[in-house]
């Protein structure tokens, strides 16, 4: 049984609120790659204390020579993850979905407030802490953080880093997925025929605090992993995610005008930098070269037959 192979590791490191949950479900359907039943292992962040054996054990069911996916958007906000990734898997391929920083911070604020209420948007911009039992994770998000984080990943991983615009994934999901396949060394599978839209984890999604609390307990997660077969876990997980998505056009939450202006003031420079980074191409390698899979990419925003609305605000 092949199990874990660091040479085959592909890490989707964020950004949070840039389609990573949707991407998880799509890649979980893919016949030529393996994702663990935990959507977010967070091993290279606040779960690092659990040790390499815990992390590699999540891939024990991998039975063919296929890439292994770790989709944990915490890594983008926790730059400790960079050296930890390099230590365990120096040849890992890393992927970042890059969203407009102003839209991103607004979406992230509402998402975080589903789980723990923040006093105000202004206080949230100053950063927040995920209070885990062993390795608390402090997130500083504004005032140039997006640029610093992306540059840190580019410096560390170079040509082993893929960056793509979130808008490409939102508007032309098949083209974005084909780029991910090609970069990650995943056997091509996504086409206009095989692709099926998945809408999960949007800001309008219903949130049941008791269920979130229950499913965040390590004892519960370990029991699920031990007692239930992977195909059943996959079906139940997707059904639960889909059940919490509202039907119709339920309006999402909105910020006060003063808060929107504050977001512009503190992340507008990051947005300008992101726009300049992707000025000529929606998909780049970490060394700055445009990334061209065999099937040319449509420009972000070009009309297509199928679209996805992942994690929108």
pLDDT of residue 84 exceeding 80, the answer is yes
- CATH class (in words) of the domain with range 6-285: alpha beta
pLDDT at 298 exceeding the cut of 90? no
Q: How large is the average pLDDT for residues 93-108?
A: 96
| Neighbouring residues of 162: CB distance < 8 A, sequence distance ≥ 6 | 93, 94, 95, 96, 179, 180, 183, 184, 283, 284, 285, 286, 291
> Taking the model in full, what pTM does it have?
0.83
Q: 305: pLDDT confidence band, cut at 50, 70 and 90?
A: very low
DSSP H or E run through 128: strand 128-130
What values do phi and psi take at 47, rounded to 5? -100, 15
Q: Which of 43-52, 101-110, 125-134, 233-242 has the lowest mean pLDDT?
A: 233-242
6-49: per-residue pLDDT in tens? 999 999 999 999 999 999 999 999 999 999 988 889 999 999 99
pLDDT of res. 265: 97
Q: Which band of pLDDT confidence, cut at 50, 70 and 90, is reported for residue 303?
A: very low
Kindly report the backbone phi and psi dihedral angles of residue 71, in degrees, each rounded to the nearest multiple of 5, phi listed first.
-105, 95
d(CA 15, CA 141): 11
pLDDT by residue (tens digit) across 183-214?
Answer: 999 999 999 999 988 766 555 455 555 555 55
pLDDT of residue 210: 53
DSSP string, 73-109: THHHH-THHHHHHHHH-TT-EEEEEE--HHHHHHHHH
What does the pLDDT look like over 49-78, one tens digit per residue? Answer: 999 999 999 998 887 889 999 999 999 999
Between 303 and 254, name the one with better pLDDT: 254
The pLDDT value recorded for residue 83 is: 98
Cα 172–177–182 angle (5° rounding)?
A: 135
Instruction: Please tell me the distance from the alpha carbon of residue 19 to that of residue 65, in angstroms, as a whole number.
Output: 27
What tokens were used for 79?
């730059």
Burial class (CB in 10 A: 0-12, 13-18, 19+), 211: exposed
Q: Does a cis peptide bond (omega within 30 degrees of 0) precede residue 128?
A: no
In this prediction, residue 214 carries a pLDDT of 52
Beta carbons of 173 and 308 less than 8 angstroms apart: yes
pLDDT at site 268: 97
User: pLDDT of 126-185, one tens digit each?
Assistant: 988 877 778 888 888 899 999 999 999 999 999 999 999 999 999 999 999 999 999 999
- Tell me how far apart the alpha carbons of residues 37 and 233 are, in angstroms, rounded to a whole number: 7
Per-residue confidence at 307, pLDDT binned at 50, 70, 90? very low
Of 104 and 113, the one with more pLDDT: 104
Domain ranges of the chain: 6-285
């Amino acid at each position: 049984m092949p199990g874990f192979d660091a040479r085959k590791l592909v890490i989707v490191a964020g950004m949070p609120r840039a389609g990573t949950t949707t991407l998880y479900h799509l890649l979980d359907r893919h016949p030529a790659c393996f994702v663990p039943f935990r959507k977010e292992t967070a091993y290279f962040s606040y779960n690092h204390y659990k040790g390499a054996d815990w992390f590699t054990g999540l891939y024990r069911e991998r039975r063919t020579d296929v890439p292994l996916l770790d989709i944990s958007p915490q890594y983008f906000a926790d730059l400790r993850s960079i050296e930890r990734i390099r230590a365990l898997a120096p040849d890992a391929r890393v992927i970042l979905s890059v969203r407009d920083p102003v839209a991103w911070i607004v979406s992230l604020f509402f998402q975080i407030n589903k789980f723990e209420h923040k006093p105000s948007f202004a206080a949230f911009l100053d950063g927040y802490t995920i209070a885990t039992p062993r390795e608390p994770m402090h997130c500083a998000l504004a005032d140039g953080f997006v640029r610093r984080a992306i540059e840190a990943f580019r410096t560390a991983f170079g040509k082993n880093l893929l960056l793509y615009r979130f808008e490409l994934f939102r508007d032309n999901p098949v083209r974005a997925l084909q780029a991910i396949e090609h970069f990650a060394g995943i056997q091509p599978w996504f086409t206009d025929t095989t692709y099926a839209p998945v809408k999960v984890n949007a800001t309008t999604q219903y949130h049941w605090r008791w269920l979130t609390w229950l499913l965040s307990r390590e004892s519960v997660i370990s029991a699920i992993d031990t007692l239930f077969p992977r195909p059943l876990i996959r079906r139940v997980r997707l059904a639960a995610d889909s059940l919490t998505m509202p039907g119709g056009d339920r309006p999402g939450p909105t910020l006060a005008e003063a808060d929107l202006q504050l977001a512009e003031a503190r992340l507008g420079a990051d947005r300008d930098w992101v726009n300049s980074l992707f000025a000529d191409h929606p998909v780049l390698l970490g060394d700055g070269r445009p990334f061209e899979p065999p099937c040319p990419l449509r420009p972000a925003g070009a009309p297509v037959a199928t679209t996805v609305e992942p994690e929108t605000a």
